[in-house]
Chain A
Amino acid sequence: MRIISAQALCLLLLASLPFAVMFGLNSGAVDIPIETIIDLGFEVFQSSDKDTVTQQVKTILFDIRLPRICLAILIGAILAISGAVMQGLFRNPLAAPSLIGVSSGASVGASVVIVLAGAWLQSNTALGLSLVAVGAFIGSFLVTVLVYRLSTSALGTSVTTMLLAGIAVSALAGAVSGLFSYYADNEMLRQISIWQMGNLSTANWQRVLVLAVVAILVLSLFPRESKSLNALLLGESEARHLGIDVQQVKRKLILLTTLGIGTAVAIGGMIGFVGLIVPHIVRLLIGPDHRWLLPVSALAGGVLLLLADTIARIIIAPTELPTGILTAILGAPFFIMLLVQQRREL
């Protein structure tokens, strides 16, 4: 029996989103009381002349916290839904972007662009960002195709090969990234290393815009393939017997996951484990039916990464922890738990 119905979980998450956003707006180095936030919200909508809030508070809320909150939600949603799709595609719950080297591939692609087109990127425009995203996309695409080809045969996906290929690719990617860091100048080095830790502190509205475009694309196109993904869980030939054009579906899903992960990694850096853990928990709660798994994972990913990022901001205030470090601290033990449980089932 399942613990909770998909609809109920969906509603629960939707209801918790405003609270998480409020928590994110409220907490940080400067404490802004919730009444002030609500007042300010009314002020925006009613454009009243009453100047209840200072300019400084406005800047903190609208130029620092709100874009960061949007970024956390979008990245969390993209990583979680892409993770869910990838696990369906590989027919294995352990396939996660960060484990099989897709994130590392994206990281290499982005590093290459940062170093080669460094001067351009200093201006930090949407164009420069998109370029880093394209680099990350190409990197993650190549890795996904490579790992998929290596680990999937007519008999299905070999987990061992998949994880080993992930290790090999990650090692190679680490070396290439290292090489580029070695030749990078100070400014680039700072950019690369901050970004590799997985950090949302560089959030601004341009980044949100780039990510929002990708998020809309990914979040609207993935759910159309949920039936095909359900059929694919049976096996590729079974899916074909059910009338699914497996080759075409695979191509589409690989392109979309790499677009999503590439962009998310390019902008948010290496934020591990969200793509592994969120779909996993959601599957435990509501089952593997992709018609619900995909939207609920996206929602849960958004809420969870927002909470994690808010905690990362306040846990060692007044400084903050890179978000990727926090998700890894929370995620690694969970992953170990998963392995223990799997061993018990065998």
Chain B
Amino acid sequence: MEEQRYVVFLFPSVSYALKAEKILKAAGIAHKLIPVPRHISSDCGVCVRIAEDKERDVEGELRGRVEWDKAVLL
């Protein structure tokens, strides 16, 4: 079995991350709020992790509704 690969979305602040989480929840996209991995620097300590193949869907949901800094492949 191939290991699941993830992408994390980084946000300018915790409240953006929370807002994104609500949007993804409403859209039914599996996600997880996790601490920002140590090797990625971010002012906001939490990020939203999603399956790699959902990156486009997530961008589509978030665009125009909540800003994000970047998406990083883990």
Do the two chains bind?
Answer: no
